[in-house]
Structure 1
Amino acid sequence: MSSIVSYVKLDSETLEAVLKLHERYANGIAGGKRASLKFVDFSGIDLSGRNLADAELTGCAFESAKLIKTIFERAILFACDFRKADLRGARMAKADMRGANLRGADLSHADLTQSDFREGEVAVADKKNGMMVVKHRMRPGDAEGTLFVGATLDGSQFNGVQAKGADFQDCSMKGAKLSGAILKDCNLAGADLQDADLTGARLEGAHFEDAILTGVALGYSKIDPKMAKGALGDPSDSAKIRAIQLENMANDHQAWWESNGSAGKHAKFDGEDLRPMASMFKGMRLTAISAVKCNGVGVRFLSTQLQGANFSEADLRGTCFAGADLRGANFTRARLKKADFRNAKLSPLRISADKTKATDFTGAEMRYANFDQADIREALFYDVDMLGASFRGAQATGAKRGKSPTAEDSGDAPAGSSAPEAQANAA
């Protein structure tokens, strides 16, 4: 089947008018109109920060465009050309990207949650007399050499994608569908691939050092052990058996706290693997538990009461603390990459009439952690790695960052410097 189409180039005034009408539509404001911009040439244009959520953008050309933090949530991006585009921090959750070309694009820290990047019927065109003669054929998405560093691809559909040499370092790819994908020479070091489907994927030369591989489906695909040093696999059989005892300990601790010590007993989860109990802690009262050096990767402490808890040196990558009460908790030297602290309480814990205990993250690794809308007043963030962490809307009065007061001065940020308000509202 063939057809004739031409790319449209909009003048700046027309484009701005369309964008403003669409932004009114996206924000539910009267008088708005959904943008329908099929086969428009946006090459090299700067649309950073604009809201194109739910827009119809089939077949558009965004080659080398500047799209930093642009909102494409649920947008129709079918067969779009994003080659060499700057999409850092773009929001593309649930976007239809079937057959799209991302070759050489930068999607560092972008959100592609549940996006669809599967094979699609795309237009292969040749220019003739200024027109496009188009033939339709099925083609997989192309992400060869693309940068996805720190991006979120949870639940995304990348089946059959051509992504040779792509960089997925530190990505969250929980439940991602990558069956049949070409991932040769990819960098997946530090990626969270819990429950991902890699059945039939080509993994020759792919790096998985320090990756989270719990529940990964490989089928006949193989990961080279030499390329997966430090990777975290499934819990051991003994850890699964031990989970029954740990569950009883958690229930006893809750009874101990609620009875003011007359029933149950204080729980210590030091060094334990908590992953087999990933969903049981939601809403529990686990105030003052000790979980030093525990493995809590991917565990959900949603709305759990954890005042004064000790998670020092724990592995808590991808752990959910959303809505939890963590006042006065100890996270010193913990691994908190991609941890979720949205709406969590992390302000000081009052111990007595004249004494409080600050929540302490000193020395923690918290790349890409999410503290949006959290209360981090007076929290300690000394010597932390917070690359890509988000603090949108966080209450940060009195929070401290920089060099630890106990560390020798090495010319870095001064000890005790207050975290600026701008940091709390950073995207």
Structure 2
Amino acid sequence: MAAPLQRRVFDQATLNHFLDLYERSSRGPAFAERPSFLACDFSGLDFSGRDLTNFSAIGCRFVNADLSRSNLSFANLYAADLRGAILKNVDFTRADLRGACLRSADLGGANLQEASLERGALFFASIDGGFRDTAVPVKSAYYRQIHHLAPEPIRDTDMRGVILEHADISDSDLSFTDLTGANLTGANLTRSNLTGARFFGANLTGAKLQGAKLRQTNFVTAIYDSAQFKDCDISGTVFPREMPDFDAEFPRRLARHTRWVQSLGSEGERLDFTMIDLRGKKFDGLDLSAAVFTLSLLDEASFAGCYMAMAELNGVSARKARFDKADLRGSNLTRGNFTLANFQGANLGMMDIAGMHPMSVPTRLTQSCIMAANFDNAVLTGADLELADATEARFTSANLAGAVLINTYCYGANFRGTNFDNAVLTHVRGLEFSLT
């Protein structure tokens, strides 16, 4: 068997040559040599409509590539980077996608029957007998053999924001997979292993989950209207709660919270809406400082003009929610889904706390999904956006002085007139395109 092509960056013409060769060899004798690939870069290239049965592309990059309508059944895509890839109607039957990154990929109509999507990592054996992660920048001469270390899982499969509308994922293993913000409307997940999977802010409307393993699965902030859960193992599964008599109960809770704030915690009670379904509720102009909304469902809720300094909004689903002109200084918005949310004119800057030990607390948007959100004229001085997904977000005339953008995704974002003075911009994806 020929050695795989390693660590090459392909253009479309070169790729077409190898794909033609692969398809010809697939139609030939069973022992015909087929090209395989290891840690190569196919970003932005076109694979659409190709027959790539048994294709091997371990650790390769397919960022924003078009693989629509291709046949990748039995393919080995272990630890592949498929962020933003077009995977519509792809046949992934029994494909190995362990450790793959499918963040924001479009898998509408894809077939993932019996595909393997559990955790995985990519390691190489070195001449000293140890193992090195592919991310470690050492000379290629040290690498001799590829190893799959499935018994020692390293990282979850990243499927945040993927589109899987009406996709067939039956009998697949998605254990411990991160499906935050995924669109699984009408998807077939029957008999799949979803143990420990995270569905924060995911849409499972009409999904079929009959016979699925849902142990320790987290559906908090997920939408699962008309989903079918017959014969599921739901031991330890977490679902969001509804708040009965909200219109009567909320004013009482707000009054106790106001006393708690005014008395610096000596009276009243802090407002706590942890894991509560508050979709579409109106809170405009209220004082919700230091209120707790952890893991709550806030889609299309309105907090316009609210005072929410030091509030806890970590892990929420707040798609299309309104925070325009709200004061969110020092708030915790980590791992939330704020797709299409409105932060226009909001203050997400540092919160200065006086006292014997004065401090400045940054607003945290770490690992949050803020795709297509509106931050026009917003203040984000010192804000932490590490690992946030700001794809197609708007930051026109926003103030990001001193903000931290490390491994942040900014493809298609609008930064016209944005102030980046003293900002930390490290490995920011797509920023060079967003500034042009």
Does the pair score TM above 0.5? yes
Question: Counterpart in 2 of 1:59?
Answer: 52
Any conservation in 1 of the 2:43–2:64 contact (CA below 8 Å)? yes
Question: Structure 2: 5+ residue runs without aligned partners?
Answer: 27-33, 121-155, 252-269, 352-360, 405-420
Measure the CA separation in 1 of the matches of 2:366 and 2:286. Answer: 21
> For 2:52, what is the secondary structure of its paired residue?
coil
Letter of the aligned partner of 1:162 in structure 2?
S
C-alpha contact 1:235 1:273 (8 A) present in aligned 2: no
1:217-366 equivalences in 2 (<5 Å)? 217-225=228-236, 228=237, 231=238, 233-236=239-242, 239-242=243-246, 270-272=271-273, 276=277, 278=279, 280=280, 287-291=284-288, 292-294=291-293, 297-301=296-300, 306-310=304-308, 312-314=311-313, 317-321=316-320, 324=322, 326-330=324-328, 332-342=330-340, 344-347=342-345, 362-364=362-364, 366=366
**Residue of 172, 175, 179 corresponding to 2:189:** 179
Alpha-carbon deviations, 1:124-182, whole Å to 9, x = none? xxxxxxxxxxxxxxxx3343545423533454434323317x44136334546353334
Work out the CA distance in 2 between the residues paired with 1:179 and 1:210.
14
Letter in 1 for 2:316: R
Residue 295 (structure 1) shift: 6.2
Q: Cα gap change, 1:68/1:273 in structure 2, threshold over 3 Å: closer, same or farther?
A: same
Q: 311-320 vs 207-216, which deviates more?
A: 207-216
1:278-315 Cα distance to aligned partner (Å, 9 max, x none): 2x46xx8x64234532467343338x682345272135
Does 2:63 correspond to 1:69?
yes
1:367 and 2:382 matched:
no
Separation in 2 of the partners of 1:78 and 1:334?
41
> Would the aligned equivalents of 2:278 and 2:297 in 1 still touch at CA under 8 Å?
no
Equivalent residues in 2 for 1:141-152, closer than 5 Å: 141-145=115-119, 147-149=156-158, 151-152=160-161
Inter-partner Cα distance in structure 2 for 1:63 and 1:294: 42
Given that 1:149 and 1:167 are in contact with CA atoms closer than 8 Å, whether structure 2 keeps it comes out as no
Deviation at 1:342, TM superposition (A): 4.1
Q: Is the 8 A contact 1:99 1:142 kept in 2?
A: no
Residue of structure 2 equivalent to 1:380: 380
TM-score normalised by length of structure 1: 0.58
Partner of 1:17: 13
SS at match of 2:57: coil
Tell me the distance in 2 between the aligned counterparts of 1:109 and 1:271: 31
Alignment partner, residue 82 of structure 1: 76
User: How many residues were matched structurally?
Assistant: 326
Could you tell me whether the CA contact under 8 Å between 1:309 and 1:330 is conserved in 2?
yes
Determine whether 1:390 maps to 2:390.
yes
1:380 aligns to what SS in structure 2? Answer: coil
Query: Do the aligned partners of 1:381 and 1:402 also contact (CA within 8 Å) in 2?
Result: yes
Change in 2 beyond 3 A, CA 1:220/1:273 = same
Of 105, 108, 117, which residue of structure 2 is paired with 1:111? Answer: 105
Partners of 1:378 and 1:276 lie apart in 2 by 27
**Displacement of 1:200 after TM fit?**
0.3
Task: Name the aligned partner's letter for residue 80 of structure 2.
Answer: D
CA distance in 2, matches of 1:243, 1:48: 54
The amino acid of 2:312's aligned partner reads E
- The answer (yes or no) to whether the contact 1:72–1:95 under 8 Å persists in 2 is no
- For 2:246, what is the secondary structure of its paired residue? helix
The equivalent residue for 1:28 is none
Q: Distance between the aligned counterparts of 2:248 and 2:67, measured in 1?
A: 41
* Aligned CA distance change for structure 1 residues 234 and 65 (closer, same or farther; 3 Å): closer
* Letter paired with 2:115: G
In the alignment, which residue of structure 2 is the partner of 1:94?
A: 88
Q: Give the AA of the match of 2:170.
A: G
Q: TM-score, normalised by structure 2?
A: 0.57
Q: What is the CA distance between 1:221 and its match in structure 2?
A: 1.5
Gaps spanning 5+ residues in structure 1: where?
A: 1-8, 21-34, 120-139, 248-268, 350-356, 404-415
In 2, Cα distance between equivalents of 1:318 and 1:344 = 13
CA separation of 1:369 and 1:14: change in aligned 2, threshold 3 A: closer
Q: Is the 8 A contact 1:79 1:97 kept in 2?
A: yes
Cα offset, 1:87, TM superposition: 1.9
CA RMSD of aligned residues (A): 4.8
DSSP 3-state at the match of 2:157: coil
SS in 1 for 2:13: helix
Could you tell me how far apart the structure 1 residues matched to 2:161 and 2:299 are?
18
Query: Does the aligned pair in 2 maintain the 1:58–1:77 contact within 8 Å?
Result: yes
